[in-house]
Structure 1
Amino acid sequence: MIPVFGEKYNFQWSDLGDVQFGRPNLGQQMPVMVYRLAQYTMREALAQRYGDDTAAEILRDSGWIAGREFCLNVMDRAQPLAAFVAQLQTKLKELGIGVLRVEKADPNDMLFTLTVSEDLDCSGLPLSGNTVCDYDEGFLAGLLYTYTGKPFSAKEIDCWATGDRTCRFEVKPDLLAA
């Protein structure tokens, strides 16, 4: 999935600012509840204005930008796939985003089943019967696009909100976008 805007967007990593300078007393840490308050109220406002499907698409697109920028600014893109995934696992855990595991991998065809436990977006949510990690889908697709130069799609197939205790994503090349 490459969003309709592709690589053309205005966000820059530097837009995140100098947190150490700006928050000398509070620092970089904040409760998960505050992050979720921002994400789920934005989701609700988008859904009210544009509908649930469009809200999910916008969150996916914003996740794609975040995954791309994360890969460009945090990850070492020059390393082999196994080392890249290991670094990603470490970074996601260090940043409190989640615990990434590779459940299945076919590196030749770039097909993956990935799980994220303790997911920042949904672990502990009440059951809704729907997957809710649209942002994560975009994040994974944007990250892998930036690493490989090829479009990817990521689809959440299991989620805490559907009764599972880990988020599971099927990730594959997006042949329609190629």
Structure 2
Amino acid sequence: MQNNSNVKKLEIDDIAKINRPTLGNEVSVVILRVIRHLTLEEIIGIGSGGILYRAGKNIGMSLQFDELDDFLDWIEKSKIGIPEVDGNFVRIYECVTCSGISYIGRTVCHFEGGLVAGFLEKLWNKHVLAKEVKCFGLGHDVCEFEIITKD
């Protein structure tokens, strides 16, 4: 049994330290999708989307960027997808969560929506909701989030 006084909560900086000299810092998108779509939904149920949205929002709010372009560059460099802003909409092409999946009748990119909402909420200092309106899960070829703000 572990002594809780010695246990530290993992932070992003801790997780970002990768020591895989042979395998590197990348993993198959299939593994990520199995964890997100199959395992989480099996354990938590369809409500796992809300948890993923909140996780994304927390991460988005914690990012240390002062400009939208820096955030968009980070999304692409992190291989989450290729972002594009068009008015009140943010599109993510080649989305890591859904790009290429079959029609399933619902959106699935809750984490990405939360990530966008969290960063914009921090940047604009107002409540932001990113509502997914397009997704491969709905038969589209891009993820699109409508950005809704409340003062």
Aligned residues: CA RMSD: 1.7
Cα distance per residue 1:44-79 (max 9 Å; x no partner): 3110xxxx2x3221111111112123x22xx2x1xx
Could you tell me which amino acid in structure 1 is paired with residue 76 of structure 2? Answer: K
**Where does 1:72-87 land on structure 2 (aligned, <5 Å)?**
72=64, 75=65, 77=66, 84-87=67-70
Deviates more, 1:129-138 or 1:162-171: 129-138
Match of 2:53 in 1: 60
In the alignment, the residues of structure 1 paired with residue 120 and residue 10 of structure 2 have an alpha-carbon distance, to the nearest angstrom, of 19
Deviation of the 1:38 alpha carbon: 1.8
Residue in 2 that maps onto 1:93: 76
Residues of 2 paired with 1:26 and 1:148: CA distance? 39
Which residue in the other structure is 2:138 paired with? 162
**Whole-Å separation in 1 of the counterparts to 2:140 and 2:16:** 36
Moved segments of 4+, more than 6 Å: none
Describe the shift of the 1:157–1:11 C-alpha distance in structure 2 as closer, same or farther (beyond 3 A): farther
Q: Which residues of 2 match residues 3-152 of structure 1 at below 5 A? A: 12-19=11-18, 22-40=19-37, 41-47=39-45, 52=46, 54-69=47-62, 71-72=63-64, 75=65, 77=66, 84-104=67-87, 112-152=88-128
Aligned residue identity for 1:122 = C
C-alpha distance in 1, partners of 2:107/2:135?
Answer: 5
Could you list the per-position Cα deviations for residues 18-39 of structure 1 after superposition, in whole angstroms to 9, with x for gaps in the alignment? 11xx212111111111211221
TM-score (norm 1): 0.73
- How many residue pairs align between the two structures? 142
- Name structure 2 gaps, 5 residues minimum: 1-8
| 1:15 Cα deviation after fit | 3.4
Structure 1, unpaired ranges of 5+: 1-9, 78-83, 105-111
Residue 88 of structure 1, CA deviation: 2.5
Distance in 2, Cα, partners of 1:31 & 1:126: 19
Deviation of 1:11 after TM superposition, in Å, equals 5.6
Q: Percent identity?
A: 26
